[in-house]
Amino acid sequence: MHHGQLQALHGVSLAVPAGSVHAMIGANGAGKSTLLRTIAGLHNPTTGSILLHGTDVTGLHPEQRVAAGIAMVPEGRRLFPTLTVEENLLVGLASARPGPWTIEGVYDLFEWMRERRGQHAAQLSGGEQQAVAIGRALVANPKVLLLDELSLGLAPVVVRRIYGLLPQLLASGVTVLLVEQDVSQALNVAAVVHCLLEGRITLEGEPAALTPAQIESAYFGVGRASRNGNGHALAVRGTEAPDTAVTETAITDSAVPESGADA
């Protein structure tokens, strides 16, 4: 994956089994958000492919990937500020799949939203905006939900409340891949964490099996961390395991012209 002439990701492969939560951690500029945006279809990988339940979605536009079952809650919420709460959720229906989540379901999940659905999104607090952004992604009934930096700019108590929703999302059949700068938060909620450093995965494994020293060295690139698979369906490039929800492979070997979608 290239950002203009800059190679942002190098040979990153990962597989997320259906119904689980995986987290990407890493320092600023490690490529976490680029990875999520590539899976969502906002960037095109130079090489490699993205499989959703074994189906190649690499060539699809972002909206087609939503229809296929990949939805993202973007970094910074990215609500439509001049639209009301309800209108923001309605936009999420544009390529929605049939499934358990409806706008009413989102209102049941966040009780305050029903009363304030007529308010403009710009008038909401950061935590409320994050809830609407999650709702907007949920109503599309994704198979895989990508969460980019949920905690950014939010009070710790709000962050805990939002991450407290994950069990409910998983119960509705969603698979979650999240990016989080708050490492302790990621270790708390994820079944498996992947650590990115300068566009490469330097460590992956179950949080319980990783020592703080391992994480630290993978995060900051001090010394060499040993890879820890622990028997999970991990790091299998191009895997076709039926229980694999999403596989991301992005190997680069040639420069591409700057893409219009690049930030």
Partner 1 sequence: MSWINAVIQGILIGGLYALFACGLSLLFGVMNVINLAHGDLAVVAAYVALGVVAITHVPAVWAFLVVVPVFAVLGYVLQRTLFQASLNRSVLTTLLVTFGLSVVLENGMQQFLSANSHSIDIGTLVSASFSVGSQIRIAYLNLVILLVAVIVLLGLQFFLSSTKNGRLIRAVADDREAAQIAGVNYRHVFGISAAIAFGTVALAGIAFGMFSQFDPTIGTDQLLLFAFEAVVIGGLGSLWGTLGGGILLGIAQAIGANIKAADQVLAGQLLFLLILIVRPQGLTGRRERA
Cβ atoms within 10 A of the Cβ of 59, count?
A: 10
- Structure tokens given for 35: 């990875």
Following DSSP, what letter does each residue of 89-147 receive, concatenated?
Answer: HHHTTTTPPSSS--HHHHHHHSHHHHHTTTSBGGGS-HHHHHHHHHHHHHTT--SEEEE
Host H or E run for residue 31: none
Stretch that binds partner 1, among 4-12, 60-68, 162-170, 197-205 (CB under 8 A): 60-68
Backbone φ/ψ region at 230: left (φ over 0), alpha (ψ -120 to 50), beta: left
CB of 232 to partner 1, least distance (A): 28
CA distance 26 to 40: 19
Residue 94 is a binding residue for partner 1 (CB under 8 A): yes
Strand-strand pairing, 70-73 and 200-205: unpaired
Nearer to partner 1 by Cβ, of 208 and 263: the residue is 263
Residue 72 is a binding residue for partner 1 (CB under 8 A): yes
Q: Cβ(47)–Cβ(251) under 8 Å?
A: yes
Strand-strand pairing, 6-7 and 2-3: antiparallel
CB of 214 to partner 1, least distance (A): 33
Nearer to partner 1 by Cβ, of 131 and 197: the residue is 131
Q: Cβ(52)–Cβ(97) under 8 Å?
A: no
Nearer to partner 1 by Cβ, of 91 and 236: the residue is 91
Backbone φ/ψ region at 48: left (φ over 0), alpha (ψ -120 to 50), beta: left
Instruction: Find the helix packing angle between 156-163 and 126-138, rounded to 10°.
Output: 20
Site residues for partner 1, 123-152, by CB under 8 A, read 136-137, 140
CA distance 87 to 84: 5
Total binding residues toward partner 1, as defined by CB under 8 A: 31
Binding mask of the shown chain, residues 17 to 56, with x at each position contacting partner 1 by CB under 8 A: -----------------------xxx--------------
Nearer to partner 1 by Cβ, of 146 and 154: the residue is 146
Nearer to partner 1 by Cβ, of 61 and 160: the residue is 61
Residue 229 is a binding residue for partner 1 (CB under 8 A): no
Nearer to partner 1 by Cβ, of 53 and 78: the residue is 78
Nearer to partner 1 by Cβ, of 153 and 238: the residue is 153
CB of 137 to partner 1, least distance (A): 8
CB of 96 to partner 1, least distance (A): 7
Stretch that binds partner 1, among 76-84, 124-132, 149-157, 235-243 (CB under 8 A): 76-84
Q: Which DSSP category does 79 fall into? A: -
Site residues for partner 1, 161-200, by CB under 8 A, read none
Binding site for partner 1 (CB under 8 A): 40-42, 61-63, 66-67, 71-72, 74, 78-83, 87-88, 90-96, 136-137, 140, 260-261
